[in-house]
Amino acid sequence: MELDLVLRAARVVTPEGETAADVGIRDGLVAAIGQRLEAPRIVELAADEVLLPGLVDTHVHVNEPGRTEWEGFASATRAAAAGGVTTIVDMPLNSIPPTVDVPALRLKREVAAGQCFVDVGFWGGAVPGNLDAIRPLHESGVFGFKCFLVDSGVPEFPPLSLVEVRRVMVELAAYDGLLVVHAEDAATVGRADGRRYRDFLASRPRTAEDRAVASLLDLARETGCRVHVLHLSSADAVPLLAAARADGVRVTVETCPHYLSFEAEEIRDGATQFKCCPPIREHDNREVLWAALRDGVIDLVVSDHSPSTADLKRLDTGDFGAAWGGIASLQVGLPAVWTAARERDFALTDVVRWMSQRPAELAGLRGKGGIAVGNDADLVVFAPDETAVVDAAALRHKNPVTPYDGRTLAGVVRSTWLRGERVDLDAGPRGRLLSRGEPHAR
């Protein structure tokens, strides 16, 4: 077999586990995995490096067009590549217009074209009044549909009532579409102004998530629709989800690096860089989320990268009520999760499953999520034992605001490869726009 390139490593994480192997690449695909493969070009990894599959982040708010000053396709995908993420799926908000009909999807694809340093897919949105747009969006290649059960924070993307959620589920169940849900109960969520984090946390209690998740599971059980719970932060919802899955409800669950890394007890009053919805909860709650990952109740870990301009975070006043609720973390998700995971005796194979394989499976991204023959040669050279201090100003995010600023993390991405070519962040972008159901290497 003639190969274009071989990456040779003492440690390669494959779907079968970690092994020493050569990974042979031809025409942008993994063509062979074995020993002493030959090619005109051979890249031998250093002794302290591990070859991972490119990460797949299915929860990214790029915000372009309309709020490109918050983040845009060029900056977001540069940050993704710098962090070992080779595929993102863009949320339907906070761009203007949101991706709630085919013209908006077409506009977003036009804007993204030629800007992306990694591969990019798109979610559609489900909002009041767009039920007739759901199937055309599905047929146009979105990977599923996002809805809120509570105020989204932007007026152009209002929440659905449970009656409306049921209608969307019936629609999607007819062609096995996927509904991904921000599950907080609007009647339970309050508002807390001021600098005290404990007041903000109390305004969005665990019961807000638990009630919303319970309602969502009832509707999924009734309609047979596939549902995905976004950014789970409440440990109390874990038993509900485990029981529903045991009953055959088609539900998957994600959490985020910030819920696994931080704890409410350490968040200072006025530290609005930590504000997100649902909120970062207490130490004991965090440890239950880790246990749910170990048990498989939580399937995957994605960033929910939801940046804004620095002024909207209200760092000057520290007012949690006024600050934008979103965590910027796209570039640091891998080291953040690895730092916390290895402290709990997880392996890199676990991290790859949560952050590459399972997100690819959720979205139905063929050819992504693992180093396997026939898959895209999306790869990351990772030094798991090297540490680095996060400098927000040095990240590729458009705005230098993140709660990870100043935090020492284990694991450094030394290079990222997209379809067998090393990503050069200072050269032209090579990322492609993806559609559901299409082969992604062509």
Per-residue pLDDT tens for 14-56? 999 999 999 999 999 999 999 999 999 999 999 999 999 999 9
CB 245 within 8 A of CB 286: no
Per-residue pLDDT tens for 90-149? 999 999 999 999 999 999 999 999 999 999 999 999 999 999 999 999 999 999 999 999
Cα-based angle 104, 106, 112 (whole degrees, multiple of 5): 100
Residue 437 pLDDT grade (very low, low, confident, very high; cuts 50, 70, 90): confident
User: Element (H or E) spanning 348, and its range?
Assistant: helix 348-352
Q: Which residues contact 181 (CB under 8 A, 6 or more apart)?
A: 146, 147, 148, 149, 165, 212, 216, 227, 228, 229, 230
Residue of 220, 177, 181 lying closest to 363 (CA atoms): 177
Helix (H, G, I), strand (E, B) or coil at 175: coil
CB 145 within 8 A of CB 125: yes
Per-residue pLDDT tens for 405-421? 999 999 999 999 999 99
Residue of 273, 261, 275, 204 lying closest to 234 (CA atoms): 204
CB 264 within 8 A of CB 281: yes
pLDDT value for 440 = 57
Mean of all residue pLDDT scores within the chain = 97
Per-residue pLDDT tens for 258-308? 999 999 999 999 999 999 999 999 999 999 999 999 999 999 999 999 999
Domain boundaries, the chain: 5-44, 54-366+389-406
CATH code that applies to domain 54-366+389-406 = 3.20.20.140
- Return the number of other C-beta atoms located less than 10 Å from residue 296's C-beta: 12
pLDDT at 220 > cutoff 60: yes
The tokens describing 152, both together, are: 């989204």
First to last CA, the chain: 20
pLDDT at 384 > cutoff 90: yes
